[in-house]
Every structure is written in C-alpha cells, then in structure tokens.
C-alpha cells in the first residue's frame, strides 16, 4: 500500500509518502497563518503525491470529526467546519481520511513505535499546548470525536487566559509557553540574573530555558521543574481515570525528556491514591519524533481509519 500522510499545524506542515510503513519521500513547509487551510493541505499533499498513491491521511491540530472528515475548529488553524476529506478525495481521486494530529501520532506509536507492545496507553503531547490520544485495548478511543483534549481541563479558575478562551487550563501551567512566561517573569524582575545573561537578547523559547537548565543554571532548573511538576499533577488526574500501562509523551517539549519528565514522574508517583501499594504506569518519551503525526495519518488512511 502506498499512502500519503500530512500533519498540519498553525505554522508548519509535514508531508510523507509511505510504502507500507516506510517513509519513501517527505517534505516540510512553513504555513502562512493567513493561508486557507484546505489550500495548505492540498499543496502539502501535492509535494509528495504520485500516481501510485492509494490513500491520503490528514492529521490536523484541532477538533476533527473523523467519521465526516470535517475539521470543526482549531485554535491555530484558520477556518471552521472545513470538509477536508471530501475536498482531498475529490482533488486527488483516492480515498482520504482526516483525524486529529495527536490521534494520528498515537496511531503511529501504536503501530510501529513505543506503544506497540501495550494495550492501554495515554499519548500526551507537550509542546505549544497539551493534547493527546487515548488507546484502550489496542485501539484508539475517540469518544464523539474529540477525546483527549485534556490540555483544556481547567486547573485554576483564576489562572491566565488560554488560547481556547478559558482561564487556567492545564496547558497554561505546563507547556512551552508556560515555561517561557515563567522565564520572562524572572528576567523582567531580575535583568542581572544569570538566567537573563544566558537567555540574552534573543527570543526566549521553552527549548532555550530547558537548555539553560540542563547546562546547570539553578533558576532555569527551578522553572523547568515547576512546569514538569504541573505536568505530572495533570498526568495524575488522567491516570486516576484511565489507569493505563504506559503514558507516552510526545511533542516538542516532551521530546526533550528527563528534565521535564523526571519531575512529572515523581509527582505522579506521589499523587496516586493507594500510595506504595500500587505501581504507577511507566512514563516514556515517544520514539517516532516529529514525523509521527504524518506517518500515523498515512497509516490510518491506509487502514481506512481502523
């Protein structure tokens, strides 16, 4: 089976062509924020499409109805109620499938990655926000289509404003932007601090703060630990509900690994009811990296959504 998968977010798109589960071609794009989403999807597909392609999968960051192939809404993607599946199927003349980007990435991890040996897994993406997917008994669980949007569980009614329009969502405490916000507070309060010198005049990113922490800056380490602990606190809530065998962490910040995940793991172990009488699930970094969403979208399309 030759299939194409694309992963499209607010600023970037990745397109792959697979033969079976092997990537045989890929291309990356910057997406203009003002670009029509369906045009951006079509252009991404064109970059890797040829006559051998039998199925096309689209993973997109937002609320997707997989049964209809419609993107209802995404905080970083222009347009609402976009009929992506019918537009793609019509344009390219092959069957198409559309899903949330985290579902697509989780499906790739389940098929050929770190989740392949497990039956019950929570896939949690930690990056610009927090998203995720639920795998129950070896299959994706979608609910009505929108399951796994736990980044928008409110953890602080008086918290900062979230991209979704609500206040104090989990992702406002534990994400790349949360770390950046904390770093800005420190730097503004104390421009002579070692962290201010390390981060310099350039734009502060979640990755740059983690790098400063890993290089030994105590202030940066405290901030990264704070975000990691907030991440772990949220994970504890999810584990209380699902009791998975494995929590798999993907996304740009999650992929950085131990400096964030270590504190999260400790808070998770301390927070579970039942204490030492139960073993917390393993918390591991996803293995397929940034191509997981595009690969998973292609695999889902090849299997017609499973």
Footprint of Zn ion (CB under 5 A): 152, 162, 164, 166, 169
Contact call for residues 48 and 25 (beta carbons, < 8 A): yes
Contact call for residues 50 and 93 (beta carbons, < 8 A): no
**Which is closer to Zn ion, CB of 24 or CB of 161?**
161
Shortest distance in whole angstroms from residue 170 CB to Zn ion? 8
Shortest distance in whole angstroms from residue 36 CB to Zn ion? 25
Shortest distance in whole angstroms from residue 169 CB to Zn ion? 3
**Which is closer to Zn ion, CB of 119 or CB of 166?**
166
Contact call for residues 296 and 59 (beta carbons, < 8 A): yes
* Closest by CA position to 8, among listed 79, 109, 68, 114: 79
């406002």: which residue's tokens?
172
Separation between Cα atoms, residue 204 and residue 220, nearest integer Å: 12
**Which is closer to Zn ion, CB of 136 or CB of 164?**
164
Q: How far does the chain reach from its first CA to its final CA, in angstroms?
A: 15
**Which is closer to Zn ion, CB of 123 or CB of 170?**
170
From the CB of residue 32, how many other CB atoms can be counted at a distance below 10 Å? Answer: 11
* Closest by CA position to 110, among listed 270, 271, 244: 244
**Which is closer to Zn ion, CB of 65 or CB of 152?**
152
Shortest distance in whole angstroms from residue 162 CB to Zn ion? 3
Shortest distance in whole angstroms from residue 159 CB to Zn ion? 10
């Amino acid at each position: 089976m030759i299939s194409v998968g694309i992963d499209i977010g607010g600023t970037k798109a990745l397109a792959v062509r697979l033969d079976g589960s092997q990537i045989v071609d890929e291309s990356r794009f910057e997406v203009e924020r003002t670009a029509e989403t369906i045009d951006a999807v079509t252009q991404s597909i064109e970059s890797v499409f040829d006559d051998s392609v039998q199925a096309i999968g689209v993973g997109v960051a937002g609320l997707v109805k997989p049964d209809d192939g419609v993107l209802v809404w995404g905080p970083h993607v222009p347009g609402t109620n976009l009929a992506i599946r019918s537009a793609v199927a019509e344009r390219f003349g092959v069957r198409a499938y559309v899903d949330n980007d985290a579902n697509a990435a989780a499906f790739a991890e389940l098929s050929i990655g770190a989740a392949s040996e497990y039956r019950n897994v929570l896939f949690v993406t930690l990056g610009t926000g927090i998203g995720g997917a639920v795998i129950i008994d070896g299959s994706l669980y979608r609910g009505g289509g929108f399951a796994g949007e736990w980044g928008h569980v409110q953890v602080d009614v008086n918290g900062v404003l979230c991209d979704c329009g609500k206040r104090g969502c989990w992702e406002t405490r534990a994400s790349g932007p949360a770390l950046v916000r904390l770093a800005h507070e420190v730097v503004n309060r104390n421009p002579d601090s070692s962290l201010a010198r390390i981060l310099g005049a350039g734009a502060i990113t979640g990755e740059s703060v983690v790098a400063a922490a890993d290089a030994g800056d105590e202030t940066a380490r405290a901030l990264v630990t704070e975000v990691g602990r907030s991440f772990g606190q949220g994970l504890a809530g999810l584990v209380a509900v699902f009791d998975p065998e494995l929590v798999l962490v993907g996304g740009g910040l999650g992929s950085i690994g131990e400096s964030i995940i270590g504190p999260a793991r400790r808070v998770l172990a301390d927070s579970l009811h039942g204490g030492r009488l139960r073993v917390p699930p393993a918390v591991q970094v996803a293995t397929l990296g940034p191509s997981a969403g595009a690969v998973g979208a292609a695999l889902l399309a090849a299997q017609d959504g499973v």
